[in-house]
Structure formats: structure tokens, C-alpha cells
Amino acid sequence: MGSLTFEGLGKSYGEVEVVRDVSLTIAEGEFVSLLGPSGCGKTTILRMVAGLVEPSRGRILIGRDDVTTLPPNKRGLGLVFQSYALFPHMTVFENVAFGLRRRKVAGAELDKRVKEALGMVRLGTFGERYPRQLSGGQQQRVAIARALAPHPRVLLFDEPLSNLDAQLRDEMQIELKRLQRNLGITTLFVTHDQGEALSMSDRVGVMAKGVMQQFAAPEDIYHRPATGFVASFIGKPNRLSGSVAMREGAGGRLAVGGVAIPAARIDQPAGAKVDIVIRQEAVAIRSGIPRPGEVAGEVVLRSFSGARVQYVVRLAEGVEIVAETASHGPEAALAIGAPVGLAIDPAAVFAMPPEGAKP
Amino acid sequence: MSDMSENRPGWGLTATAFTVVAFLQLPVIVVVLAAFSTTSYLTIPPQGLTLAWFGKVLSDPTYLSAIRMSLILACGSTLISLVLGVAAAYALFRKVLPGSEAVTSFLMAPLVMPAVVVGVALLQFYSMTGLRGSLIGLLLAHVVITVPYVVRSALASLSGLDLAVEEAARVLGASGFEAFRLVTLPLIAPGLVAGALFSFITSLDNVPVTIFLISASQTTLPVLIFSSVEMGIDPSVAAVSTLLILATGIVLLLAERRFGFHRFV
Amino acid sequence: MMSRRQGLLLIAPLLLVLAGFFLVPVLMLLPTSFGVYEPGTGLIKGAWSLKNYSQIVSDDYYREVIWRTLGLGFSVTLICLLLSYPLAYLIARGPERWRVPLILLVIFPMLLNLVVRSFGWIALLANRGLINNLLMQLGVIGAPVKLLFNFVGLFIGLTHIYLPFMVLMLVAAIRNVPRDVESAAATLGSSRAHVFMAVTLPLSAPGILAGSILVFVLTISALVTPRMLGGPTYQVMATLIYDWPSGSALSFALTFMAVAIIWLSSRLTKRWAGMA
């Protein structure tokens, strides 16, 4: 068993730096997700941990052991691939037994451990089937069992749920979380789906362009984004262009679309051009004449998505904001063209350097 | 797998296919018939039936040693070609070497160069290096002309491989070689069968290279047949071919019984 | 995960064998292609010339020979392809229990030695051979049709030799086409013919190309040999190898062209496969 530590981890391909100076420690038994858009470096980090990619800089430690230069078969890890990568020419049993056989486990002991692993993913009777006879969800569970059977110190997941349909994905999220809790195994989970990362993890590392933006508990990531990128990546953001109208203490007011919106925290000086990020969930919509403190607007579009309803609201000067409300609430059935007032929570308004500048 | 009738070949296509099969068998049938002929020259249709030629072939020491030599060369060169060829194909597949495409094309050169030229070139070379008439020289010459087939089919087979399975094997504790042996090799084996087959047949059939390199005492079957042309063909030649066809048929049917060969092709 | 050094180690044995037992010997032969041969006298010692190579391009006779060879190679390849595809398709997609028997029937002709094979064709195609006899008995023709020792006979013989190669390679190519893509097209309303034209054919194209190039190159190479030996069969080789310099020059030029073709086609295939 062990913790997982990165010290100044970096990877470059020629001139291109894919991972830059990542340092963090994942405690033993902790479930950590690496979250970010494609190309942010999260998968590269995972593959460096697995030993499939050689780091350009830095070290990787499992527990107290420096594994940076160890080949992948000597690290004692488990890896679940996005494509499952089951061995098509072997039965489910043989797939799961593979890692055990490499550790010279045999006979009754082998049988027992394979059955144990398959039991954990509830596929106990599937031993004699071949991967091609299984559904996607079942294949994935075999992949998990295969990774777990040799009792690895650290468990790695490379976007394992992205090939599953939505409902199965939700079920697997819960199952995986439960499994991880029961086994207490240190887990590194790579995903581009923030819902997944936030709901499953003890801590989340948000990455963009090879740089670790923030490494914190899900609540902190959501409510207290450390950088503009995190603010705009997490939740459902509105992203508008504007400028800093005035500074007051830690925050101030931002000018956008002919209105001034208060923000609790502004890093830029007055007059600076900024991108403004406002979470959809933080915009409360109310039909009628705007009250003091609310922004006036007109409903342009309405879309129903089950539990929530989204409205596209046009402000003065053509700027549009998306607001959300519960679909069984009082504002669930506003008509196109209806005048509305938007109450925007200043704590959920973030000012960032304009797009194109470094995050 | 389920029977998808939309994919089933129609009768027009089936008829065409069987016509082609018939065309392919024409000389085979002629030869097999001739092997049973009672006359000492080949005629069609045979004027009588006899097994005498088979008896002659199987009891003639020259024939037997030629057959033995051909089989040794074919098996040996195919085996060596498989080892060298698969290793090379794997290295090319992993793209760790510069100019992979150029190297691959170069590996095809022995196929392309007219066999006579290869034969004469090796004759000259072997005479200079004292390898003339040696078994190892002959064996390696056959490797040279057969390995391109193996490399081709190995590359084709590897191209369908998902590297993730090898990576999975590595992380699970397999060394590089173990991962290759336990995962990659079984997965590409079906594709290799065709290459090994071409390789075997090319060696077994080869005259233009072999004829220059054999020693006076030891000859191969095709060269023996070839030289006996000068003395006039008798049906023993046809008998040998028939035996070869029979043997191949039996081996492949056994392979089917044992390994489910039809899955491989 | 695989280092350059490991890759080199894997490929080195083959490269060494080919270098030592192919490249070097063949290169040693290269000077001969610059030699001068005089009919009747033989090889003129010490004479050097580029004529053997330049005449490939400039001499009318040579050019015609080359065009005829290329033309024959191309038509043999085309006919092989057209005849092989239906059979390969049947083997790959037809009833499973037909597969092994069909493959056996494809392999048997490959086992025929050149001599025996020639004999078989002579028996079939000669003026008094089986085919002519049959056709005359059926009253289809009045007099025997000349099928041997001319273009027709050569064409039939070459096609027959390389058909099995093409069939086996096409079977592999067709098997690589995923069946579910075909069924998807079928369920979307495509007729069988359309599924074939729009799905199966394009997806098996790389295999078709590879097989065709191989057969083409082999056919050309097979045609050069008799030319160098002054006759349509391999008669007593040692004495009949005449005009070795121009023959070997032709061979070198041919090999170089063929390797270039193979290299070019593999680059093209890579680009097409990327776009597919």
C-alpha cells in the first residue's frame, strides 16, 4: 500500500511541453481525480505513473520508493484502460489471472483470488466467457477485476467510463466509489467529465495546458476556484467580455452589456479588460420588472432538461446570459419575450484575463 | 457469430468463385491422373492405371534424399524466417527506427530481384567465401528468398493490433518479452500462417537459386525434377507432385482438426 | 516504451543476414552490368559501358520489350485480381464449412513444381491436348486453336501461378473489414451490391493494393528470367546464360523500379488509410 507523490514532474516532446512541473501528494487510500480538457496532460501524467511514458523531469514515488526509472511491470500498480484492453484470446478467468500468474500465484490460491476479484465486480459466473461475448459494461468490470486481482498499491483509471451510456456510467461511478472505499486503495482517476470528478473524488486536480491549476477538495474547486480557468471549466459558466468598472476592496463592479455587475473578488485594476465568468446556477431569474440590484433582461430561448430549465436572457447591448432554475419552481414556464430580473450572486462572478492570455 | 444473410455471397458470385477453383485445379488433375499412367511417357488420358511410379519414387534413394533435403530446407528456412522476420516486423511496427518505410521496402527486394540474378550472385559470393555446397549456405539463401513473405504478413497482422493490450500486460507484471509471447504473438499468429505458407512453398519449389548452390552429392526435389527433364519426363515426376499434394492435404486437415485452422485464414 | 536500442537489436539479425547474403553478393554483381558482351565472343575483358542501362531507355527494341513486359504484368495482375476477389470473398464470408476445403483447393496448385505444371498445361493446351479435343468433339471449333507458346499460353500460365497468392492475400484483407460496418450499411437500406461497392471494397482496398503490387512485381520478375536465358524455359542454365551484362543491368533497373513502386505505394496506402 502506498501514497503517490509527484515531485516536479514534467514531460516534453521536443519543443512542446505537455506536462509542466507538477508536484503533489496523494495520501494512502485517497481517491484523486485529474480533470481537464483533452490535451491538458492528465493522461500523460497517468502514463508516467504507470511507466508507459518516461518523464522528462521530476520524480514519482510510491510510498517511499522512487519508481521513476522502474519499468512498468515492476511498479505493482493496477491500470484500467479506456478501451478496457482485455486479452481477446483469453477467457475472463485467464484475463483476471494474468497478473497473478506473473507473480507466480498458482493452483488453489490462484483460483481463490480470481474468484474473489470477479466477485467484487459481481461477475462471479463469467469466468469461462470470452471478452467478445460480453457487453461494454461487463468488459469494463472484468478490466477492473483484472487490475485489482494482484492487490496493487495504487489503482489507475484512464477515463474508464467514457465509453458507457449515461445510466450505466452513473451506476459505475457509485460502484467504483464503493469498491475503492472498501478496499482503501490509493486511486488516481483521469477524466474530462467534471461531474464524475467532483462526485467521486476526495480531491481533484484541475489541469490545463500541462499546468496544475488547482488541487483541492471538490467543494473548494467549485466554490473557491483558484484560477480563471478553473472558474470557467467547472460548473456551467457564462463567459462574457467586459471590463473592470470600479474596484472596492477585494472586489468591485464589472461592466458588461451596459450594466454593472458586482463581483466579490477582482484581481485586475479598474479599467482593465477582462473575461467575466458567471455560473449559470448562480443567476436567479424572476419574471417581471427588475428589483433594485437585479439586472434587466428579456427571455430569448427556453430549454427543458429534466430537473432544470435553462433560459437564454438578453441584456441591454445584445449580451446574453444563461440562467437556470428548477423545473418545478415558480419560474419554470416563462414565455419568450417575457421581461425578467436577474439576481447575480457576486461570489459566483469571476474576472479573468481575456482569452488568449496564459491561464 | 450470427448468420447475417445480408452478407452472404449470392449465387452469381459463388458460381464465379467455383469456376475459378475449377480453373485452378485443371493442371492438378492432369498431373494426378498422369501419376497413375501405365505408360512410361505422360499421356492424357492415361492408358492404364498403376501405382508403379509411386513405388519407384518411394524406393529410389536419389528421390528420397532429395525429398529429405527439400523438407529440411523448407522447414528450416521457414522457421528462421519466422524468427528473424517477426522480430524485424515488430521493430518496424513500433516505429522506433528512422526510415521504417524505406527499410520495409528494402526487405522486399529479394522477392523482386529475378531469382536467377540472386542465384548467380550467391554462387559468385559463395565460391569466394568457400560456402559453396554447404548446407548452411543453402539454408541462408532460402531464408533470403522466403523472409519477405513473412515480413509482409507479420506487418499486416501487426497493423491490426491494439497496443493497449500489450501495455496492459506490462502493467500487470509481464516483461517485454513475456508480453510479446503471451499476448502479441497469439494475436498475430493467424496472420502469420499465410506468410509461413508462402515461405514454405517458395522454398520447396525453388529452382533458380538452389540450382547454383547445391553440391554434387546433395540435391533438392525441384532441382532433381528439373534436371530429369533433360532425360525425358516419366510419370515419377507426376507421382512426386501427387504425393506432395496428398501430404499437404493431410497435414492441413489434421491442423484443422487440432487447431481449428479455418479460424486462421 | 520500446527504446531505439531494443528496436535495433530486434531488426539487426535480419538486416545482417540480408546484408551478408543478399546485398553484398548482389552488389558484387553490379560491375558486370556495366560490362560489354559480344555475341559469339562472349564477355570482353576490361570493357566498360553504360550502354546496358542507357539502352533500356533509348533502344527501341529494349523499350518495346519493357513495355510488353510491363503490359503483360499489368494485365496478369488485373485478371488475377478480378478472378480472385469472388473466390476470396466466398472464402472469407461464405459458409464456414466450405472454408478449409476451398483453401486446400487454392493451395494445391501452388504445390506444383514448374516442370510438372508446364507439362500439365502442355497436356491441356496443345493442339492435340485435352481442351482442343473437347472443343472439337463438342463441335465448337473446327480446327485446333493455338494456345501454347504464344501470348495466350503465357498469360494463362502466369495467371494460374499467381492466382493463389492473390486469393490468400485478399482473404486476409476482406477479413479485416468489420462485418458490423457491412450490416450497418445493409440495415440502412443498401442492396448487397451497394454494400459491397460502398463498404467492403473501399475498406479492403489497402489489401487489394498490396496484393496487386506483389503479384505485379513477381510477374515482371518472372518474365525477366526467361529473357535472360534466351528462351521460355530454364533449359540448361549454365551454358545458355548469354548477354549477362545487359540481362543483369535490366534486372538491377527492374529491381530498383519495383522497390521504388513498393515504397511509394506503402506511403500512399498510409495516407489513404489515414483518410479512410
Mind listing the pLDDT tens digit for each residue in A245-272?
888 888 888 888 778 888 888 888 888 8
Cα A244 to Cα A237, A271, B38, B156, C149: the distances in Å are 19, 5, 108, 61, 93
Same domain for B123 and B19: no
Q: Taking 70 as the threshold, does the pLDDT of residue C112 lie above it?
A: yes
- Summarize the confidence of residues C85-92 as an average pLDDT: 90
Contact (CB<8Å) A52/B167 = yes
Residues 6+ apart with CB under 8 A from A222: A198, A234, A235
Mean pLDDT score, B155-164:
84
Collapse the DSSP code of B1 into the 3-class scheme (helix H, G, I; strand E, B; otherwise coil) and give the result.
coil
Residue B258 Cα, gap to closest chain A Cα (Å) = 17
Give chain C positions within 8 Å (CB) of B235: none
CA separation for the pair C78, C97 (Å, rounded) = 29
Report CB contact under 8 Å: B198, C28: no
Closest-approach residue (CA) in chain A for C3: A54
Same domain as B64, residue B4: no
Q: What mean pLDDT value characterizes chain A?
A: 89
Given this model, what pLDDT does residue B1 score? 39
Q: Taking CA atoms, what residue in C is nearest to B17?
A: C87
Cα–Cα dist A18/A57, whole Å: 12
Residues B16 and B82 in one domain: no
Q: pLDDT by residue (tens digit) across C137-186? A: 887 777 777 777 677 788 888 899 999 999 988 888 887 777 777 777 77
Compute the half-sphere exposure of residue B10: CA atoms within 13 Å on the CB side of its CA: 7
Task: List chains touching B (3+ CB pairs under 8 A).
Answer: A, C
pLDDT at site B3: 41
d(CA A75, CA C162): 52
pLDDT band at C276 (very low <50, low <70, confident <90, very high): very low
Residue B44 has pLDDT above 70, yes or no: no
Alpha carbons C268 and A145: distance in angstroms, whole number: 43
In the predicted structure, residue A111 carries a pLDDT above the cut 90: yes
- Under an 8 A CB cutoff, do B168 and A52 touch? no
| The pLDDT of residue C47 | 65
Is residue B101 within 8 Å of residue C267, measured between CB atoms?
Answer: yes
pLDDT at residue B56 tops 60: yes
pLDDT higher at C270 or A94: A94
My answer on whether B94 and B183 are in the same domain is yes
Q: Does C183 touch chain B (CB under 8 A)?
A: yes
pLDDT at C204 over 50: yes
As a whole-number percent, the residues of chain A with pLDDT over 70 amount to 98
Minimum mean pLDDT among A81-85, A100-104, B72-76, C34-38: which range?
A: C34-38
Mean pLDDT of A82-96: 94
- Please report the pLDDT score of residue B11 as a whole number: 82
Q: Is residue C104 over pLDDT 80?
A: yes
A: neighbours with 3+ CB pairs under 8 Å? B, C
pLDDT of amino acid C232: 44
- Asked if residue B104 and residue B29 are part of one domain, the reply reads no
A191 pLDDT exceeds 90? yes
- Report chain B residues whose CB lies below 8 A from the CB of C94: 8-9, 14
The pLDDT score that the predictor gives to residue C236 is 37
Q: What is the pLDDT of residue C45?
A: 61
- Euclidean distance between CA atoms C97 and B253, whole angstroms: 12
Are B6 and B24 contained in the same domain? Answer: yes
Nearest C-alpha of chain C: how many angstroms from B149?
Answer: 10
B149: three-class secondary structure by DSSP: helix
Residue C28 and residue B121: Cβ atoms within 8 Å?
yes
Confidence of residue B203 (pLDDT cuts 50, 70, 90): very high
Q: In this structure, what DSSP letter does residue B38 have?
A: S
Same domain, B135 and B203: yes
Provide the chain B residues 121-180 that lie in CB contact (below 8 A) with chain A: 162, 164-165, 167-176, 178
pLDDT band with cut points at 50, 70 and 90 for residue C241: very low
CA distance A180 to chain B (A): 19
User: In sequence order, what are the residues at sequence separation of 6 or more whose Cβ sits closer than 8 angstroms to the Cβ of residue C93?
Assistant: B7, B8, B9, C174
Contact (CB, 8 A) for A276 and A239:
yes
Q: Please give the span between the terminal C-alpha atoms of chain C, in angstroms, as a whole number.
A: 28
Cell of A244: 473592470
3-state SS track over chain C: CCCHHHHHHHHHHHHHHHHHHHHHHHHHHHHHHHCCEECCCEECCCCCCCHHHHHHHHCHHHHHHHHHHHHHHHHHHHHHHHHHHHHHHHHHHCCHHHHHHHHHHHHHHHCCCHHHHHHHHHHHHCCCCHHHHHHHHCCCCCCCCCCCCCHHHHHHHHHHHHHHHHHHHHHHHHHCCCHHHHHHHHHCCCCHHHHHHHHHHHHHHHHHHHHHHHHHHHHHHHHHHHHHHCCCCCCCHHHHCCCHHHHHHHHHHHHHHHHHHHHHHHHHHHHHHHHC
pLDDT over 60 at A162, yes or no = yes
Label residue B22 exposed, middle or buried (CB < 10 Å: 0-12, 13-18, 19+). Answer: exposed
CA–centroid distance for C72 within its chain:
10
Mean pLDDT computed over C73-95? 90
With 0-12 / 13-18 / 19 or more C-beta atoms within 10 angstroms meaning exposed / middle / buried, residue A234 is buried
Residue with cell 447591448: A317
Q: Higher model confidence: residue C227 or residue C188? A: C188
Helices A136-148 + A92-102 axis angle, to 10: 20
The pLDDT of residue A104: 93
**pLDDT at site B262:** 62
Same domain for B161 and B189?
A: yes
| A35-63: burial string, b at 16+ Cβ within 10 Å, e else | bbeeebbbbbbbbbbbbbbebeebebbbe
- Alpha carbon of C232 to those of A116, B24, B209, C76: distances in Å? 71, 22, 18, 17
Residue type, B210: T
Those residues whose C-beta lies under 8 Å from the C-beta of residue C72, and which sit 6 or more positions away, are: C151, C154, C155, C158, C219, C223
For residue B240, the SS3 value is: helix
pLDDT at A73: 92
How far is Cα C164 from Cα C80, in angstroms, rounded to an integer? 9
Q: String of b and e for C32-52 (b: at least 16 CB within 10 Å)?
A: bbbbbbeeeeeeeeeeebebb
- Residues B110, B146 within the same domain: yes
The reply to whether B46 and B64 lie within a common domain is no
> Rounded distance, CA A142 to CA C159, Å?
50
Alpha-carbon dihedral sign for residues B249, B255, B256, B257: positive
Please state which of the ranges A178-187, A333-342, C69-78, C266-275 shows the lowest mean pLDDT: C266-275
* C1 contacts in chain A (CB < 8 Å): 52-53, 72
The reply to whether B142 and B210 lie within a common domain is yes
**Domains present along chain C, CATH in parentheses:** 49-275 (1.10.3720.10)
Do residues A339 and A288 lie in contact, with contact meaning Cβ atoms separated by under 8 Å? yes
- Whether residue B148 contacts residue B103, with contact meaning beta carbons closer than 8 Å, is answered with no
Tell me: the pLDDT tens digits for B12-24? 888 889 999 999 9
The domain containing residue B138 runs over which residues? Answer: 59-264
Tell me which of A220 and C241 has the higher pLDDT: A220
Distance (Å, whole) CA B64 – CA B83:
29
Q: Can you give the pLDDT at residue B213?
A: 86
Radius of gyration of chain C (CA): 23
Which position has the grid cell 558484387?
Answer: C28
pLDDT in tens, B83-124: 999 999 999 888 777 878 788 888 888 888 888 788 888 988
Whose grid coordinates read 500460365? C157
Residue B241's nearest CA partner among B39, B7, B53 is: B53
Partners of A32 in beta bridges: A188, A203
Regarding an ipTM greater than 0.85, the answer is no
Q: What is the dihedral sign for C-alpha B150, B156, B157, B158?
A: positive
Q: What total number of domains does chain B contain?
A: 2
Same domain, B93 and B189: yes
CA distance C131 to A330: 93
pTM of the model: 0.81
C-alpha span between C22 and C226 (Å, rounded): 22
Q: Cis before residue B45, ω within 30 degrees of 0?
A: yes
- Find the closest chain A residue to C2 by CA distance: A52
pLDDT, position C231:
42
User: What pLDDT, in 10s, does the model give residues B168-202?
Assistant: 999 999 998 999 999 999 988 877 888 898 899 89
- Chain B residues inside the 8 Å CB shell of C115: 222, 225-226, 229, 233, 237
Which ranges in B94-232 belong to alpha helices (H)?
A: 100-107, 109-112, 115-129, 135-159, 163-171, 176-179, 185-205, 210-213, 221-228
> What CATH code is carried by the domain that includes residue B142?
1.10.3720.10
Contact A67, A73 (CB under 8 A): no
CA C200/CA C208 separation, integer angstroms:
11
Which chain B residue is nearest to residue C108, measuring alpha carbons?
B245
Calculate the CA B223 to chain-centre distance.
16
Q: What is the mean pLDDT of residues A149-176?
A: 89
